[in-house]
């Protein structure tokens, strides 16, 4: 599918509150076939998410350690995760350390997911993700670990006010780019 047709279809699903504020942009290089094109998501005429560039206005992580040391990341720990640590350590670890170990494990997994997700952003991946989004249900796109699918679903008109308000806990576990677009959509509800 051509870029203009894909862009037109994506914009037809855009939430009415974001029409005129939200825009998909792409560049390509006709005479440089070895150079990949760039893709942007712009909000209020400002490039907010620049695929394949770490200089966007959204927090972009360069290492797992940055993610682990970021105090703004809040990872909720469930009782099952603490029990799994208790079982692994055979009950030899003090109770307060169990939560710390469980949080450390979960942050490690989260960091790996974020790093792999943000390393896959480019124009070609955007086109693949956009085509996938158009064929998936809105629920599958929201539950996906793919940053682009999450963003496309969050700005979709099929995601209503009630669903946006009910997903605040799940959004805390997503990439900062997804959190940004959630906040943007929450502000229009």
Do 128 and 92 share a structural domain?
Answer: no
Split into its structural domains, the chain has a count of: 2
Domain range enclosing 96: 64-117
Mean pLDDT over the full length of the chain: 81
| Average pLDDT score over residue span 101-108 | 84
Which residue among 100, 117, 134 closes a domain?
117
Quick: pLDDT tens for 70-99: 777 777 788 898 888 888 888 888 888 888
Do 160 and 126 share a structural domain?
Answer: yes
- Distance, CA of 77 to CA of 15 (rounded, Å): 33
Q: How many CB atoms lie within 10 A of CB 153?
A: 26
In a domain, 37, yes or no: yes
Write out 65-86 in H/E/C secondary structure.
HHHHHCCCCCCCCCHHHHHHHH
- Distance, CA of 63 to CA of 183 (rounded, Å): 25
Do 92 and 131 share a structural domain?
Answer: no
Do 135 and 98 share a structural domain?
Answer: no
CB 52 within 8 A of CB 36: yes
Do 110 and 25 share a structural domain?
Answer: no
Do 98 and 18 share a structural domain?
Answer: no
In a domain, 57, yes or no: no
Which residue among 98, 117, 136 closes a domain?
117
Quick: pLDDT tens for 32-72: 555 556 777 888 988 887 765 444 445 566 667 777 777 77
Do 177 and 130 share a structural domain?
Answer: yes
In a domain, 58, yes or no: no
Q: Indicate if the pLDDT at residue 117 is higher than 70.
A: no
Do 36 and 9 share a structural domain?
Answer: yes
Do 183 and 125 share a structural domain?
Answer: yes
Query: Using 50, 70 and 90 to split pLDDT, how confident is the model at 158?
Result: very high
In a domain, 32, yes or no: yes
In a domain, 147, yes or no: yes
């Amino acid at each position: 599918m051509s870029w203009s047709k894909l862009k037109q279809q994506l914009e037809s699903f855009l939430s009415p509150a974001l029409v005129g504020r939200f825009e998909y942009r792409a560049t390509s290089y006709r005479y440089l076939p070895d150079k990949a094109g760039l893709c942007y998501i712009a909000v209020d005429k400002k490039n907010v998410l620049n695929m394949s560039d770490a200089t966007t206005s959204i927090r972009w992580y360069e290492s797992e350690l940055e993610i682990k040391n970021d105090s703004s990341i809040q990872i909720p720990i469930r009782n099952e995760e603490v029990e799994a640590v208790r079982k692994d350590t055979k009950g030899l670890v003090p109770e307060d350390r169990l939560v710390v170990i469980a949080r450390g494990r979960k942050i490690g997994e989260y960091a790996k997911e974020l790093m792999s997700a943000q390393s896959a952003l480019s124009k070609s991946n955007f086109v693949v993700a956009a085509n996938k989004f158009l064929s998936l249900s809105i629920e599958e796109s929201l539950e996906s670990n793919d940053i682009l699918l999450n963003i496309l679903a969050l700005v979709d008109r099929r995601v209503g006010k009630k669903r946006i308000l009910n997903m605040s806990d799940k959004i805390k576990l997503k990439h900062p780019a997804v959190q940004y677009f959630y906040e943007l959509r929450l502000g229009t509800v």
